[in-house]
Structure 1
Amino acid sequence: MHVFLCPQMFSNNDEAVINKKLPKELLLRIFSFLDVVTLCRCAQVSRSWNLLALDGSNWQRIDLFDFQRDIEGRVVENISKRCGGFLRKLSLRGCLGVGDSALRTFAQNCRNIELLSLNGCTKITDSTCNSLSKFCPKLKHLDLASCTSITNLSLKALSEGCPLLEQLNISWCDQVTKDGIQALVRCCPGLKGLFLKGCTQLDDEALQHIGAHCPELVTLNLQTCSQITDQGLITICRGCHRLQSLCVSGCANITDAILNALGQNCPRLRILEVARCSQLTDVGFTSLARVSKQSHKHTAQQCTSICITDGTLIQLSIHCPRLQVLSLSHCELITDDGIRQLGSGPCAHDRLEVIELDNCPLITDASLEHLKTCHSLDRIELYDCQQITRAGIKRLRTHLPNIKVHAYFAPVTPPPSVGGSRQRFCRCCILL
């Protein structure tokens, strides 16, 4: 929506032309499309505009990330008093100056809040979650990532007062254990997204609680939760049949048994991230790919492992015609022949949008030739592929002119200086 205001239409008094021509209801509707900064400027025009601009109905969704360095507790308190029950979504991501006291006032005033991001608000503690539990029963999405003072007490409080919770991010809250997860999932059966990245104390028992009580789970991130094994993840697969996205990167104990369990129990799986899971092999991915063929919603698959060979690519090309995103980062055994098989598959011509081949040392310009018929290809990653050349990339661009190619090339080593020493150069990243 575009609004054009002429200087003649308003002045510093309430008799401005615009106030006479437009009813307050229409002005209020126009203001509802403005961002925070523009609303504040409008509030300075006149007394009547001040009332309209600061009307709580205009402040249902607020994101203060751009002002994070200037946001202190009193600002949040003032906003909550102005917005009251109108406020539905608030992002305080990165606002380091906001603490428990301000958020208690906020919770008391904004009892209809549904989405709250406190990502990186490192001052907050369990006290904030107690306040949310007491005053905000409609809370559905809560982001507490990097709030490292959060403990099991927070999860227990949320389970008691926020039963509608659908998405919770407690990544890097490394004091959380299985007891907190157990308390949370037992009273929040509608959880659809759990982000537990960096929660290093979580083990298989925590996953068993999730698998038993979260049938609606769609997204689960367990990156670097190094204690988990096949046992816990198989419980997730058997209990969370709606799962679409799973990240277990850095969970080095898992094996092909997980891929088999996912294939048999999670037909809606779209994204699987398994970077640095060195025990996964072609056998497991072949099993997963064959089962995935039956799922119409299996539209993206990310497989990242150092043990994958061309055999996996052959199976993906045959059984995953809807493949959109494929990450083969650090797959050191992948060769041009595997890419050839992939490029000749049905997904390559109509679906494949992204392929990541960074740190695949056996890949050469021949792979780029095999991919030039992938008309949907939007991005390719080639970092640290030493056998890829500028000429090869240029040839690819003649067939796919809009493709984004991410690669780098070491600059030519300069000749020795007169003094006999040699200047040092670092390899630079180039967006081709």
Structure 2
Amino acid sequence: MEENGLVIFFSVPFQMFTNSDEAVINKKLPKELLLRIFSFLDVVTLCRCAQVSRSWNVLALDGSNWQRIDLFDFQRDIEGRVVENISKRCGGFLRKLSLRGCLGVGDSALRTFSQNCRNIELLSLNGCTKITDSTCNSLSKFCPKLKHLDLASCTSITNLSLKALSEGCPLLEQLNISWCDQVTKDGIQALVRSCPGLKGLFLKGCTQLEDEALKHIGAHCPELVTLNLQTCSQITDEGLITICRGCHRLQSLCVSGCANITDAILHALGQNCPRLRILEVARCSQLTDVGFTTLARSDICCFTPLNQITDGTLIQLSIHCPRLQVLSLSHCELITDDGIRHLGSGPCAHDRLEVIELDNCPLITDASLEHLKSCHSLDRIELYDCQQITRAGIKRLRTHLPNIKVHAYFAPVTPPPSVGGSRQRFCRCCVLL
């Protein structure tokens, strides 16, 4: 057996796997080696092995095999008692548990879980809508090693949960409270003051958050790498500039749907966040080419721009972003073949660019595909709703890039009105070319 993988015993005679406790495999292999083999199995396979024999039942249900459990692809309609039984079986062995989408799990079961599994480091309760602040109180009291916690869509969570976590889980590195819309600046303040190692904070849909909350994050989270503020509609430039100045390690920022922000944010990011690689700004209608030009000169490698973007931004990207790998130009209705020409001739095109999204860019034609032929690393291109792109143009591109994945569709021509005056409707046909 290899250290990094499992060697399957294809040559072992079938009788070694019979349901007898005297099966040859149990005699030939020591318990420690069997446990090592079992440690590579998923939840479903472990449960099946537990039914083979009494000795395999003991091996399969050994707590050391249950350090990582994800029930999402196995069973989501579980009741609280199942979580309680898991916690009693795993005890201190369990490090990672995902109960994502388990709607039947509530505070009582998670209190028992917290008491039994005190070494838990990663816990996902995404979509467990029955839980309340009581669960976070239990985690705070019994689980001091917790590092990653996902509470997305747990809408009963309030500031009390964040205050409890700040008191008992100082090692917290990643917290997802998206759509917990009762959270305000007071909860954020308590959390960030006691958890200075936070690296990922997901606040999508926390609509009560204002600039004051961002000021606390900027002042107390120097290690922050990922921040999601999607649809936090009350925030403005003032709060985000504080984030830029205090979180110099920031690599990913989502402010889509934050309509109050302006080019001042792009300038602040360019000046203060040299590691930024992903910026999502959909529906931020006040951002312009001027701001994105500044940002391009700061060597940001991947961002999602807007329909105000023009060829000028692409020219700046081609000059100042030699490491550009992923570029989304979806719904950038002003860009033309000339902008793609500059991009295709830039330094990133030959060695780095892997994905370009051009869906809903009405001015793009087959000429753009000609300009992209020299992008030897290009793996995927999106062309949905590019009405001037043709099958022939895609075919020519694939002669130069035979392994490229092209996502496009071609709608059939709508026929003329029938005698009755009505028009027959045709569905657009989406294809992977």
1:277-288 matched pairs, under 5 angstroms: 277-288=284-295
> Does structure 2 retain, via aligned residues, the 8 Å contact 1:196–1:222?
yes
For structure 1, the residue ranges without an aligned partner over 5 or more in a row are: 291-305
Per the TM alignment, residue 118 of structure 1 is displaced from its structure 2 partner at its CA by 0.8
> Does structure 2 retain, via aligned residues, the 8 Å contact 1:68–1:93?
no
> Does structure 2 retain, via aligned residues, the 8 Å contact 1:68–1:94?
no
Per the TM alignment, residue 199 of structure 1 is displaced from its structure 2 partner at its CA by 0.9
Per the TM alignment, residue 333 of structure 1 is displaced from its structure 2 partner at its CA by 1.0
In structure 2, do the counterparts of structure 1 residues 194 and 99 end up closer, same or farther at CA, with 3 Å as the change threshold? same
The Cα offsets for residues 363-384 of structure 1, whole Å up to 9 and x where unpaired, read as 1111111111101111111122
> Does structure 1 retain, via aligned residues, the 8 Å contact 2:121–2:147?
yes
> Does structure 1 retain, via aligned residues, the 8 Å contact 2:360–2:384?
yes
The Cα offsets for residues 141-200 of structure 1, whole Å up to 9 and x where unpaired, read as 001111111111111111111000000011111111111111110100000000111111
Per the TM alignment, residue 403 of structure 1 is displaced from its structure 2 partner at its CA by 1.0
Per the TM alignment, residue 48 of structure 1 is displaced from its structure 2 partner at its CA by 1.2
Mean Cα displacement is larger for which, 125-134 or 410-419?
410-419
1:14-413 matched pairs, under 5 angstroms: 14-290=21-297, 306-413=307-414
Per the TM alignment, residue 120 of structure 1 is displaced from its structure 2 partner at its CA by 1.0
Following the alignment from structure 1 to structure 2, what is the Cα–Cα distance between the partners of residues 224 and 191?
A: 21
Mean Cα displacement is larger for which, 63-72 or 418-427?
418-427
> Does structure 2 retain, via aligned residues, the 8 Å contact 1:43–1:50?
yes
Mean Cα displacement is larger for which, 244-253 or 80-89?
244-253
Following the alignment from structure 1 to structure 2, what is the Cα–Cα distance between the partners of residues 421 and 244?
A: 53
When the two structures are aligned, how many residues end up with a matched partner?
415
Mean Cα displacement is larger for which, 235-244 or 6-15?
6-15
> Does structure 2 retain, via aligned residues, the 8 Å contact 1:237–1:261?
yes
Per the TM alignment, residue 12 of structure 1 is displaced from its structure 2 partner at its CA by 3.1
User: What is the aligned partner in structure 2 of residue 301 from structure 1?
Assistant: none
Mean Cα displacement is larger for which, 215-224 or 10-19?
10-19
In structure 2, do the counterparts of structure 1 residues 158 and 408 end up closer, same or farther at CA, with 3 Å as the change threshold? same
> Does structure 2 retain, via aligned residues, the 8 Å contact 1:68–1:96?
no
Following the alignment from structure 2 to structure 1, what is the Cα–Cα distance between the partners of residues 93 and 244?
A: 39
Following the alignment from structure 2 to structure 1, what is the Cα–Cα distance between the partners of residues 376 and 177?
A: 40
> Does structure 1 retain, via aligned residues, the 8 Å contact 2:77–2:103?
no
| DSSP 3-state at the match of 2:138 | helix
Per the TM alignment, residue 419 of structure 1 is displaced from its structure 2 partner at its CA by 6.1
The Cα offsets for residues 68-117 of structure 1, whole Å up to 9 and x where unpaired, read as 33322111111110000000000111111111111111111100000001
Per the TM alignment, residue 4 of structure 1 is displaced from its structure 2 partner at its CA by 4.0
Following the alignment from structure 1 to structure 2, what is the Cα–Cα distance between the partners of residues 263 and 223?
A: 20
Per the TM alignment, residue 417 of structure 1 is displaced from its structure 2 partner at its CA by 5.8
> Does structure 2 retain, via aligned residues, the 8 Å contact 1:207–1:232?
yes
| DSSP 3-state at the match of 2:75 | helix
The Cα offsets for residues 326-381 of structure 1, whole Å up to 9 and x where unpaired, read as 11111111111001001100001110011111111111111111111101111111
Report the TM-score, using the length of structure 2 for normalisation: 0.93
Report the TM-score, using the length of structure 1 for normalisation: 0.93
For structure 2, the residue ranges without an aligned partner over 5 or more in a row are: 1-8, 298-306
Per the TM alignment, residue 125 of structure 1 is displaced from its structure 2 partner at its CA by 1.1
| DSSP 3-state at the match of 1:257 | helix
The Cα offsets for residues 113-144 of structure 1, whole Å up to 9 and x where unpaired, read as 00001111111111111111111000000011
The Cα offsets for residues 391-431 of structure 1, whole Å up to 9 and x where unpaired, read as 21111111111111112221232466676644322323222
Following the alignment from structure 2 to structure 1, what is the Cα–Cα distance between the partners of residues 420 and 275?
A: 65
Per the TM alignment, residue 258 of structure 1 is displaced from its structure 2 partner at its CA by 0.7
Following the alignment from structure 2 to structure 1, what is the Cα–Cα distance between the partners of residues 398 and 376?
A: 11
Per the TM alignment, residue 5 of structure 1 is displaced from its structure 2 partner at its CA by 8.0
| DSSP 3-state at the match of 2:73 | helix
The Cα offsets for residues 280-325 of structure 1, whole Å up to 9 and x where unpaired, read as 11111111122xxxxxxxxxxxxxxx21111111011000000001
Per the TM alignment, residue 58 of structure 1 is displaced from its structure 2 partner at its CA by 0.2
| DSSP 3-state at the match of 1:287 | helix
Per the TM alignment, residue 18 of structure 1 is displaced from its structure 2 partner at its CA by 1.1
Per the TM alignment, residue 256 of structure 1 is displaced from its structure 2 partner at its CA by 0.9
> Does structure 1 retain, via aligned residues, the 8 Å contact 2:379–2:403?
yes
Mean Cα displacement is larger for which, 11-20 or 110-119?
11-20
Per the TM alignment, residue 228 of structure 1 is displaced from its structure 2 partner at its CA by 0.8
